C-alpha cells in the first residue's frame, strides 16, 4: 500500500491530468443517474434485492443466471449454499490481509537493505503463523484440485515476502522525500463503510478496500493472473456511492487498483513479481459504463424467469457455481466444463 502513496505523489494526476475530471456530469448525488421508477419500486417492495458493487461489476456467469437466483423476482433462497472455494479466491483473501498487515507495521529500523530484509522476514513469519488455517486451506485446494486456475501456495508466500520488503523500502523512501501537501499514510481509510440511498441501486453498506476522501480517491485490491477491465468498475461504483451519501462538494475523481499477481502464467520459469498500481480518472465514460452494467443487471433480475444457461463454450465458471446442481437437475450437463 506504500506503493500507492509513492506513485500518487510522483505522478500527481490531480495536477497533471486534471483535464480528465473537468465537468463530470454523472455524479452520485444527481437524480439523473438514479434507477428508473420500475426498478426503484421493485426494490422498495422487496420484489428484487439491491445489488452490491461487486454484483454489478463482477460478471461470473455470462447470462447473469447466478445473479438472478440470488437477487431476482423468483430467487431460490438458500439453495446451493455458497460458491465453491477456489484457490484464486482464497489467495485473494490472503493477499488482502497481508497488505493490511504491512500497512499497519510501525517497526523502526535502520535505513539499510539488510535491515529491511530482516524486518520483512519477521513480518512474513508472523503473518504465516497468524494465518496458518487459511494458508493450509490453500495448500489443500492446490493438492486436490483439477482446476486450471490453481496456483502454487509456497510461491505465493515467497511473492508476498518480497513484496512486503519492497513496501517497507517505499515507506522509508516516502519518509525521506514527503512534502507538506503530499498524500500520506494517515490519509488512507481502510474498509470505510459507505451508505448510499437505495435509489442509486447500490446496496448499503458499500465497503471499498480503501478510500482517501481528502484526495478524492477510492481504491480496490485485486488479484489474479492478469489485470481485467472490469476491475475499474468497482472503483466507479464506490465513487458514485460515496458521492451519493455525502452530497455535492465530496467528489471522488480518481480510482486506484492495487493489483497483485497471485498465479504465474509462465510454464518454464517462476519470475518474482510485485504489486502493480493502476491510477485512473473516474470520468463520465467509466461512469456511463457502470450505470449501463447496473441497469442491465437490474433488468435481468426484474424478469419473471431466469436467463438461459450460457453457451457451452462460455461455461467456464459452472463447476464452481453454487447453482450448478440446480441447473443440472433441469437436465443440463455442466460438469465437464471448466475443468
The answer to whether residue 138 sits within a structural domain is yes
The answer to whether residue 334 sits within a structural domain is no
Cis ω for the linkage preceding 205 (within 30 of 0): yes
Domain that holds residue 284: 2-329
The answer to whether residue 130 sits within a structural domain is yes
Q: How many domains, the chain?
A: 1
Q: In this structure, what are the phi and psi dihedrals at residue 334, rounded to the nearest 5 degrees? A: -120, -10
The answer to whether residue 67 sits within a structural domain is yes
The answer to whether residue 97 sits within a structural domain is yes
The answer to whether residue 41 sits within a structural domain is yes
- Residue by residue, pLDDT tens for the chain (339 residues) are 899 999 999 999 999 999 999 999 999 999 999 999 899 999 999 999 999 999 999 988 999 999 999 999 998 866 655 667 888 889 999 999 999 888 777 777 678 999 999 999 999 999 999 999 999 999 998 887 665 557 899 999 999 999 999 999 999 999 999 999 999 999 999 999 999 999 999 999 999 999 999 999 999 999 988 899 899 999 999 999 999 999 999 999 999 999 999 987 666 788 899 999 999 999 999 999 999 999 999 999 999 999 998 888 888 888 888 888 888 877 555 544 443
Q: In this structure, what are the phi and psi dihedrals at residue 218, rounded to the nearest 5 degrees? A: -130, 145
DSSP string, 212-257: EGGGTEEEEEEEESS--TTHHHHHHHHHHHHHHHH-TT----EEEE
The answer to whether residue 13 sits within a structural domain is yes
Amino acid at each position: 500500500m506504500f506503493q500507492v502513496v509513492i506513485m500518487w505523489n510522483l505522478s500527481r494526476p490531480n495536477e497533471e491530468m486534471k483535464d480528465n475530471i473537468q465537468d463530470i456530469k454523472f455524479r452520485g448525488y444527481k437524480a439523473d443517474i438514479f434507477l428508473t421508477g420500475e426498478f426503484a419500486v421493485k426494490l422498495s417492495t422487496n420484489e428484487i434485492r439491491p445489488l452490491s458493487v461487486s454484483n454489478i461489476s463482477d460478471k461470473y456467469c455470462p447470462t447473469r443466471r447466478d445473479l438472478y437466483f440470488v437477487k431476482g423476482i423468483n430467487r431460490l433462497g438458500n439453495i446451493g449454499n455458497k460458491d465453491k472455494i477456489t484457490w484464486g479466491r482464497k489467495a485473494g483473501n490472503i493477499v488482502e490481509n497481508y497488505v493490511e498487515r504491512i500497512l499497519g507495521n510501525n517497526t523502526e529500523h535502520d535505513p539499510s537493505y539488510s535491515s529491511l530484509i530482516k524486518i520483512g522476514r519477521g513480518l512474513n513469519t508472523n503473518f504465516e503463523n497468524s494465518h496458518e488455517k487459511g494458508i493450509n486451506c490453500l495448500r489443500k485446494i492446490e493438492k486436490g484440485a483439477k482446476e486450471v486456475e490453481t496456483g502454487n501456495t509456497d510461491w505465493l508466500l515467497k511473492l508476498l515476502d518480497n513484496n512486503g520488503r519492497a513496501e517497507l523500502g517505499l515507506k522509508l523512501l516516502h519518509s525521506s522525500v514527503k512534502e507538506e501537501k503530499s498524500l500520506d499514510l494517515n490519509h488512507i481509510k481502510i474498509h470505510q463503510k459507505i451508505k448510499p440511498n437505495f435509489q442509486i441501486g447500490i446496496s448499503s453498506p458499500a465497503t471499498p478496500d480503501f478510500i482517501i476522501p481528502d484526495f478524492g480517491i477510492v481504491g480496490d485490491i485485486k488479484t489474479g493472473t492478469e489485470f481485467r477491465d472490469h476491475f475499474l468498475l468497482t472503483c466507479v461504483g464506490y465513487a458514485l456511492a460515496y458521492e451519493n451519501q455525502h452530497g455535492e462538494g465530496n467528489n471522488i475523481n480518481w480510482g486506484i487498483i492495487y493489483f497483485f499477481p497471485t498465479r504465474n502464467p509462465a510454464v518454464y520459469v517462476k519470475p518474482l513479481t510485485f504489486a502493480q498500481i493502476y491510477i485512473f480518472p473516474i470520468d463520465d465514460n467509466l461512469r456511463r459504463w457502470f450505470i449501463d452494467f447496473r441497469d442491465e443487471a437490474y433488468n435481468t433480475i426484474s424478469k419473471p424467469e431466469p436467463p438461459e444457461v450460457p453457451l457451452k463454450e462460455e461455461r467456464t465458471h459452472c463447476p464452481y457455481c453454487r447453482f450448478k446442481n440446480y441447473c443440472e437437475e433441469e437436465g443440463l450437463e455442466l460438469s465437464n466444463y471448466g475443468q
